[in-house]
Structure 1
């Protein structure tokens, strides 16, 4: 058994985890730099809008992985300030900047891929759809206040840029086309009852309160070839961008090196680094 000798003159005694030399507050090491539990706890609270101790293990594992992936990118960019950048939206923006600067644009979609996707879409009958964008606010009181400001004439995109917490808030928080039957009942009851331009009542989610605005409505039926081609291209480009981002971040993770100290975590961690 390893025994760590700590000078008695120290006013604060650090308690070390297994291996001697790693404090109990250290939950990971990224590129040789220790990550302490309070940063992860604060991140969980900012993303979910709940106390860190109330976040279940599955969600905590996913967000812990997300934080560590972002941390490798921040180190690669050389943007780590005191304690690092801990705002979730800012971290997401840094990740996208890293992908653009280091890995470049995603591969272009070929004509053959688009034509194949169009053929599939033309063969289907599509349920009712709405094109929506969202605001994500911290709590119900803030969401109600923001909705009142919209009712008084303020622009949705201006409110998004000022207050929303989604990564694409600067662009208005567009989600895209949502098909009936794919969302939770409380969300669908709101968005499919709105007319174009209207904003929903606040809807509670795991990360806070959402306000949705409907930009366009499509009735159910078979889509036109023009619409199918547009959606096929957007869908393929979106999927390609996600894959490109994932590969780029994986490269950053491998270069930096990520070590977790599972014994120091307060939840049952089952994320991507569990076996590393």
Structure 2
């Protein structure tokens, strides 16, 4: 049976070859124990006798994962395997042509050697800084003690102009139901659900829309509200206080938050300890170094 990409990632992490990204730190903390314990770097193909292993697939997924994110897992695995087979075939042909000492090959080897060192070392740094104790402390401080947010359940009708919004409002005041007008008039994808947007928090919506919703009373229909999307007529259905997530429910989001925070602090500290000189490019302009990534 072909292994899943989740198992592939588990094998990669077990071998200590994970990339230096916050999402990988999270994956390292959540790999299923049985997968990690197995530690088998299974051979999935051979090209002229040379093996392609699960760890190769996982590294390829790390490299190409975002571009292939919408593919089903099975197709993604097949694509990555095919890419690695083709790469191995071309690389073997290059070796037959004695290209190992070509300056362009040496330059790329140096580049990817440095990247590999950064990736593995970075994950080790983040694992030391972002552990379960830190996650629990963050939860206790920022979630367990926080006041629950107010959530709103609302519906809206989206049109292109203020005049259209006024007409919509007149139809509702004249006795038509909000849902029927939404189905007939709204340009939003929610129109077939009567404009229903479900539950959301204030920060989930653009400010103009959110400010209107959270100043209304349940059952109230708004005057026309303009946002970058067009003109809205909004109906507030009901409000509630949000349910506080458990530690388990919040765990992954907290892990990502801590990894981002610690990653920024770490790279800033390393930059301060280093002597960095921005010399300039061939066009005579002096490039600027970007801020530490968030």
Report the TM-score when normalising by structure 1.
Answer: 0.35
Relative contact order higher in (CA < 8 Å, ≥ 6 apart) = 1
The structure where helix makes up a greater share of residues is: 2
Report the TM-score when normalising by structure 2.
Answer: 0.33
